[in-house]
Amino acid sequence: MKVAHFFYFSIAARHRSFRRAAIDLNITQPTLSKRIRELEDQFDVLLFERRAGGARLTPPGEKFVQSADRILAELEFMKQSAQAAKRGDLGRIDVGFYTSLSAGALRDTLVAFANQHAEAELNIIEETRAALIPLLDRGAIDIAVVLGEPGYRDYAHMSLWSERIMVVLPETHRLAERDVVYWTDLRNERFVISHRDPGPEINDVLLNKLAAPGDRPLIKHINAHHSVTIGAVRGERGITLACESSFAPLPGVVFRELRDGNGPTRLGFVAYWRRNNDNPTLKQFLALLRAHPAVPHLVSSASMS
C-alpha cells in the first residue's frame, strides 16, 4: 500500500471515469484500474461500480474518498511543514545581545525576521558579554551580537554594521546648543560610565580619544544600567557616552554626535555563532543580517569562518 493508491483513487473519484483519470495522471488506464483494485483488495471493499459509461462510487466508496482526501491533505501539510522547517520558516532561534533595541540595525533585522518568518519562534535574550559567550558555547543561544572587533576565534563570525558614538549632555550644558561635538571639546569634563555592557567598549574609546601621558579623563564608574547613567546626566553629575541605537528623546538630556578630525566616531558590531550549529532558522537569520544595507557589502568568506 502506497500513498499513490489513495491519490489515484481520489483522482478517479473526482473524474467519475477511469479513462479521464488516467489521462489526467498521465498513466495507462490498466495501471490505474490495477491500483484501485489493489486498494479494494487491501480493504476488502468495492469502491467503484464499473460501467461502460464510467465508474460510479459505491456508498462505501463515497465514505472512503472523504477519508482518502483527508489523508492526502494531512500528508501534504506534513510535507509543507517539513520543508518549511528545513528552510527555517518554522523552528526557533535564540538571539543574544546587550545593546539597546530602541533603534538601529539589529532592531531592524529582528523586526524583518519576525515579519518574514511569522511561524518561526524568535527568542531574544539580553545579557552581558560575559554571560552571552558561555550561553553560546553550551547551545543556549544560537547567535550573539556584540560590540567590538572580532575576537572569539573559536566561533564563526560576521562583521556587521557600525554605530556612531553619541555624547549625552544635560540640556543646560554649554555644548548642548551644538549639533556636533568634538572630542577636544570634552577635555576636563566629568564622565559617568557604566561597568555594564556596552560600557567597557565605550570606556576604551573614551580613553583612546582623551587619555594622554600624565593626563587621564575624569571617569566615575558605576555598576548600573544605561538608564541610571542617563539619570546621572540629567542630574548634572557628569556626562556620558552611548551608542547611536540608544538615542531616544528624553527630558533633561540631549544626544550629540561625537567627531574627531576624521569624522564621526563609530563602534562596530560582530555576530558570533557555533560552527557546528545547523539550525535552519539560524541560516535564515544570518541571511537577513548579511542583506542589511548597513552591513559592508564586501564580506569575505574569511570573516564568516
Identify the pLDDT of residue 178. 94
Identify the pLDDT of residue 305. 45
Identify the pLDDT of residue 302. 39
Identify the pLDDT of residue 2. 82
Identify the pLDDT of residue 84. 62
Residues of the chain with pLDDT under 70: 1, 80-82, 84-90, 102, 297-305
Residue type present at position 109? T
Identify the pLDDT of residue 129. 84
Identify the pLDDT of residue 300. 40
Identify the pLDDT of residue 248. 78
